[in-house]
Structure 1
Amino acid sequence: MKFIKFLLLGIVFGIVMTKSEAVSWYRIQEMFRFQAFHMYGIIGTAVTLGVAGVALIKRFRMRDYHGNPIMFNPKEKSVARYLIGGSIFGLGWALSGACPGPMVVNIGYGYWAMAIVFFFAIVGTYLYGLIKNKLPH
């Protein structure tokens, strides 16, 4: 029962993703073809809210669910690293028509083919975990 608020938040997230059409394969393809602003508006809103959220967390020194302080560690500034990683992520997103959030929402919406995409996202994450120490960071 302690996690019911997280379950409810996930349900609300799924509803918002569905109603905003952010889980629509058509909308995602439309974005990658530069045919519409719809997804760029959603992504821009998410980035803006994320920046504001991080600023509030830092300003008020907020704590996590267990009472630990939320810490933000500085990231290594490497243009090549982010270009390569972003390109791999974007290629997977364009080919599958979904990023991680919409994958799960689409499965819940009844698009069972997304379970294949989700399975391979899990496999890819696992494989990254296996070779992470061998990669330049």
Structure 2
Amino acid sequence: MLFKFVSLLSGLLFGLGMMISGMVNPQKVIGFLDLFGQWDPSLAFVMGGALMVFIPGYFLVIKPQKSPRLAATFNFSTPSKADTKLLTGSALFGVGWGLAGICPGPAITLLGSGSMTIATFIISMLAGMFIVQVGTKASSSFRAHTIR
């Protein structure tokens, strides 16, 4: 129960931080990404501030511990090689972020605003995730049958 409360509190704090910093404002994000036009560097300070909190926390708290206090294990991603799937997904994410000025975290935060544009974004994002999942399963199944 404590784990769920801490997770909820962390998510609320993260969402509040994104709203205060302007990361949920698509125009601000597009301004940050527009390096050769009307560049707005203010989000770099937000990211820098986040790193100034994360890095000491990682090396002073997470790194020395064998396991977290509120869960069985740490959930770190494992490094993998850059393959076509990773590069394609990264490129699509970047293009989508640049066009819409919003990415999944801020979009979920903005879902509470009642905006139909954000709702459409979330539905499209979930549809894309579903299509990739179905396509990946179909591709794996096809490869398993052709290898035999």
Query: Same fold per TM (> 0.5)?
Result: yes
C-alpha distance 37-73 of structure 1, shift in aligned 2 (>3 A): closer
Q: Considering only aligned residues, what root-mean-square deviation do their CA atoms show, in Å?
A: 2.8
1:52-80, Cα deviation, whole Å (9 max, x unpaired): 55544332123374x32225453222276
Q: What residue number does 1:29 align with?
A: 30
TM-score by length of 2: 0.72
Cα deviation code 1:23-76 (max 9, x no counterpart): 1111111012120212233334445655555544332123374x3222545322
**Percent identity over the alignment?**
24
Q: Which runs of 5+ in 2 are unaligned?
A: 141-148
- What TM-score does the superposition give when structure 1 sets the normalisation length? 0.76
Q: Would the aligned equivalents of 1:64 and 1:70 in 2 still touch at CA under 8 Å?
A: no
Q: Which has the larger radius of gyration?
A: 2
Aligned pairs, number: 134
Counting only pairs closer than 5 Å after superposition, residues 1-137 of structure 1 correspond to structure 2 as 3-34=4-35, 35-46=39-50, 49-50=53-54, 52=56, 54-55=58-59, 56-63=61-68, 65=70, 67-72=71-76, 74-78=78-82, 82-133=86-137, 134=139
State the alpha-carbon separation in 1 of the partners of residues 83 and 41 from structure 2: 26
User: How far apart, in 1, do the equivalents of 2:53 and 2:89 lie?
Assistant: 23
Contact 1:106 1:114 (8 Å CA) reproduced: yes
Distance 1:85 1:46, change over 3 A: farther
| Residue range with higher mean Cα deviation, 51-60 or 13-22 | 51-60
